[in-house]
Amino acid sequence: MLHFSDLLQYTDVFFSGLMTTVELTLLTTVLGIVVGSSCAAIRQYGNTVSKRIVAVYVELIRNTPFIVQLFFIFFGLPSLGLKLSPWQASMIALTINLGAYSTEIIRAGLNSIPKGQIEAAKVLGMTFRQTLTRIIFTPAFEKIYPALTSQCIIVMLGSAVISQISVEDLTYAANLVQSRNFRAFESYLVTAFLYLGLAIALRFLFNQIGKRLFAYREAR
Amino acid sequence: MIQFSNYDIISNLLYATQWTILLSIAAFIGGTSVALLLTAARLSRNTALQKCVRLYVELFQGTPLLMQMFLCFFGLSMLGYEISAWSAAILSLTLFTSAFLVEIWRGCIDTLPKGQWEASRCLGLSFLQTLRHIILPQAIRVAVAPTVGFSVQVIKGTALASIIGFVELTKVGTMLNNATFEPFKVFALVALIYFVLCYPLSLYSKYLEKKFHVSR
């Protein structure tokens, strides 16, 4: 009843789709965490106006579906004169999305740093930047690292939606294959398992990176 | 060609919002029911059952909701069951919701000190008695806030039902966009409606979290 062998000739289609998904995921993970860290720092140490702006950004993104954000950026922004390719639009949408979630996560980490620790750094004559990177961000990141990485994986899974604006990602490959050979179930099943494999691989990768990043713990 | 005034756009979107709300409620009820069963299976001392639940969670948290929807929609019809977009959406959202809720609730039950289980055992309470009188009353208090918070994810998840052709808020948004060529306005309104639906729930969840955190 199920004919997976019909999919074999489309291996390269699946592979290139997988690569697009991986590429976008890695890129947006880095960019999203940069956006999230900056926004979290503003939210924590900025002035009232900038705090407000970040709060509005975070709540707007967290309370609307990703697909609507994507459509708004891809279809809506060109009417303001900003024309984006599907790939660019989805990269921006994914980054903005992950940025908002990671802002909240990283802020929780920043909150967990005791005030005395920051004051101690000041007393020891560390500059604001030194304090921020060494005393605040490193331990904060260590605390929220699991939450942050699982959010990155959630965003990767959410990226399946970008096939709707014809980015040639993994889901797009599945749609393409099933429109060619009408093996919808097989095609989507294989794709679902590819996503699962990707999620597991990413989790492993993040764990390894985490071990390296926070290796100073074990040195003591 | 029909001209759409702002009033038409908004009234159509609001009409479609009913379906988004209905789908969310159905998925949430379905999701909680399945999650309750799964939690019971997880708490039972049957390791095979526990493993099944772990696998279930891994499968549904590790694959995109969109894929699950496609599989429910195309997969079941291939197996001979004619399934509407509405049923496929409810089914997949139920599975998705339950996989997340069972994990959330697991966390809530696990935060209770193990000593409580042991103490209940010493006092001669049976497994079910422990659950009913000791564990659940406490776990439910902790679980309410994240569960309400997750309902926001369910509402946002319903937007994907538009892709398998179920006419809800996002789908009507796309249709109106095709008819009016005013994507900026249409999708901003769609986003606004979702925000109005979700934000109160987010706030409520935060409020609950604070409330129970203080009382503990």
pLDDT in tens, B119-139: 998 999 988 888 889 888 888
Of A66, A76, A188, the CB nearest to B187: A76
Q: Could you tell me the pLDDT band of residue B28, with boundaries at 50, 70 and 90?
A: very high
Contact B191 A69 (CB under 8 A): yes
Higher local confidence (pLDDT), A161 or B44: A161
Higher local confidence (pLDDT), B15 or A45: B15
Task: Tell me how crowded residue A56 is: count the other CB atoms within 10 A of its CB.
Answer: 10
Look at residue A219 and tell me whether its pLDDT is greater than 60. Answer: no
Classify each residue of A208-219 as buried b or exposed e, where b means 16 or more C-beta atoms within 10 Å of its C-beta: eebeeeeeeeee
By C-alpha distance, the chain B residue nearest A161 is B66
pLDDT in tens, B170-187: 999 999 999 988 899 999
A67 CA to chain B: closest CA distance, Å?
Answer: 7
Structure tokens at B149: 């918070």
Task: Judge whether B64 is closer than 8 Å to chain A, CB to CB.
Answer: yes
Contact A68 B152 (CB under 8 A): no
Domain count along chain B: 1
Q: Could you tell me the pLDDT band of residue A202, with boundaries at 50, 70 and 90?
A: very high
Give the pLDDT of residue B16.
94
Structural domain including B142 reads 6-215
Lowest-confidence segment of A50-59, A106-115, B198-207 by average pLDDT: A106-115
> In chain A, what are the domains?
4-219 (1.10.3720.10)
B140 found inside a domain: yes
B21 found inside a domain: yes
pLDDT in tens, A70-112: 999 999 998 888 889 999 999 999 999 999 999 999 999 999 8
Lowest-confidence segment of A12-16, B75-79, B142-146 by average pLDDT: B75-79
What is d(CA B184, CA A75) in angstroms, rounded to the nearest whole number?
7
Of B70, B170, B183, the CB nearest to A65: B170
Q: Which residues contact B153 (CB under 8 A, 6 or more apart)?
A: B100
Of A67, A157, A178, the CB nearest to B170: A67
Helix H, strand E, coil C: the string for chain A is CCCHHHHHHHHHHHHHHHHHHHHHHHHHHHHHHHHHHHHHHHHHHCCHHHHHHHHHHHHHHHCCCHHHHHHHHHHHHHHHCCCCCHHHHHHHHHHHHHHHHHHHHHHHHHHCCCHHHHHHHHHCCCCHHHHHHHHHHHHHHHHHHHHHHHHHHHHHHHHHHHHHHCCCCHHHHHHHHHHHHCCHHHHHHHHHHHHHHHHHHHHHHHHHHHHHHCCHHHHC
Contact A160 B202 (CB under 8 A): no
Look at residue B215 and tell me whether its pLDDT is greater than 60. Answer: no
Task: Judge whether B153 is closer than 8 Å to chain A, CB to CB.
Answer: no
Give the pLDDT of residue B117.
87
Task: Judge whether A52 is closer than 8 Å to chain B, CB to CB.
Answer: no
Look at residue B1 and tell me whether its pLDDT is greater than 80. Answer: no
Find the mean pLDDT for residues A4-8: 81
**Cα A160–A17–B98 angle (5° rounding)?**
30
B30 found inside a domain: yes
Task: Judge whether B15 is closer than 8 Å to chain A, CB to CB.
Answer: no
Of B71, B162, B183, the CB nearest to A75: B183
Look at residue B166 and tell me whether its pLDDT is greater than 60. Answer: yes
CATH number for the domain harbouring residue B181: 1.10.3720.10
**Best interface-test mutation with B: which of A185, A191, A193, A194 has the largest number of B CBs within 10 A?**
A185
Of A164, A185, A193, the CB nearest to B74: A185
Task: Judge whether B146 is closer than 8 Å to chain A, CB to CB.
Answer: no
Size of interface A-B (CB pairs under 8 A): 123
Contact list in A for residue B78 (CB cut-off 8 A) is: 184-185
B34 found inside a domain: yes
Find the mean pLDDT for residues A32-51: 93
